[in-house]
């Protein structure tokens, strides 16, 4: 059985701009027990690589989720599940996640404009600290850009979104806009990835990726 991907094409008529394809990714049709072939595992920092598997979860969309199950307690350890497709620079990405457990950290996030496992923008939510943080990960070093204190309930599904358009990065949580930042570090196309930290066991059941129609404007 295969990953469920709904692709919606939208046309841009200014000049000869190629159509952009929005994708919604769920895991209801995937056989449990492995990382889907459309993803590859990556790691920022040190410690064990992530153990990403599709699992049964009765509360998830489609009753299944992609989960990071390794509880390695290395603090500066950031497992990634990188989606295979490269997206345009300007993109809006949201993920539905559930932070299940973790004593060092209990977090989930999404990376955009990912060049490799050491270079990307990241927004993450932490259920131990009750906050949302936006980071620039450059040469493997995580640099905080902005954040907000927001209740993040462990064991509950939340939606976290990052919109990257030109040098503008906009973050929302559960459908509510939180904050924006501006940065020029990563200004080209890149991949999208799921993210966790340290011993976080986190489930993800839905990823929505929407390339923005005109990547030429900031």
Any domain includes 59: yes
pLDDT number for residue 23: 96
Any domain includes 216: no
- The rounded distance, in Å, linking the Cα atoms of 69 and 53 is 7
Query: Which 3 state secondary structure label does DSSP give 62?
Result: helix
pLDDT number for residue 4: 64
Note the pTM of the prediction, 2 decimals. 0.90
Any domain includes 111: yes
Residue 111 structural domain: 4-211
Beta strand ranges found along 46-126 (DSSP E): 52-56, 64-68, 77-87, 91-101, 107-116, 119-126
pLDDT in tens, 54-90: 999 999 999 999 999 999 999 999 999 999 999 999 9
Any domain includes 217: no
pLDDT number for residue 20: 62
Any domain includes 168: yes
Q: What is the largest CA-CA distance in the chain?
A: 52
**Which residues of the chain register pLDDT less than 50?**
1, 7-19, 215-218
- The rounded distance, in Å, linking the Cα atoms of 135 and 181 is 10
Any domain includes 9: yes
Any domain includes 218: no
pLDDT number for residue 154: 98
- The rounded distance, in Å, linking the Cα atoms of 157 and 56 is 15
**Number of structural domains the chain divides into:** 1
Which residues, in sequence order, are bridge partners of residue 149?
Answer: 131
Please report, for the domain that includes residue 97, its CATH number.
2.60.120.560
pLDDT number for residue 89: 97
Any domain includes 122: yes
pLDDT number for residue 93: 98
């Amino acid at each position: 059985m295969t990953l469920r991907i709904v692709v919606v094409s939208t046309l841009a008529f200014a000049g000869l701009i190629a159509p952009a394809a929005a994708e919604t990714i769920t895991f209801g049709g995937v056989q449990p027990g492995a990382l889907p072939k459309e993803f590859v595992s990556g790691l920022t920092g040190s410690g064990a690589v992530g153990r990403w598997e599709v699992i049964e979860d009765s509360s998830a969309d489609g009753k299944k989720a992609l989960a990071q199950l390794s509880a390695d307690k290395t603090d500066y350890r950031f497992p990634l599940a990188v989606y295979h497709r490269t997206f345009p620079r300007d993109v809006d990405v949201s993920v539905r996640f559930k932070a299940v457990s973790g004593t060092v950290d209990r977090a989930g996030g999404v990376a955009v404009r990912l060049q490799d496992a050491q270079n990307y923008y990241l927004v993450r939510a932490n259920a131990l600290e009750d906050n949302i943080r936006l980071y620039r990960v450059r040469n493997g070093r995580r640099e905080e850009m902005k954040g907000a204190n927001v209740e993040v309930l462990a064991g509950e599904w939340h939606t976290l979104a990052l919109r990257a358009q030109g040098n503008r990065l906009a973050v929302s949580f559960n459908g509510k806009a939180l904050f924006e930042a501006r940065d020029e570090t990563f200004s080209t196309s890149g991949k999208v990835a799921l993210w966790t930290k340290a011993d976080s066991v986190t489930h993800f059941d839905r990823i929505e990726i929407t390339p923005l129609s005109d990547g030429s404007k900031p």
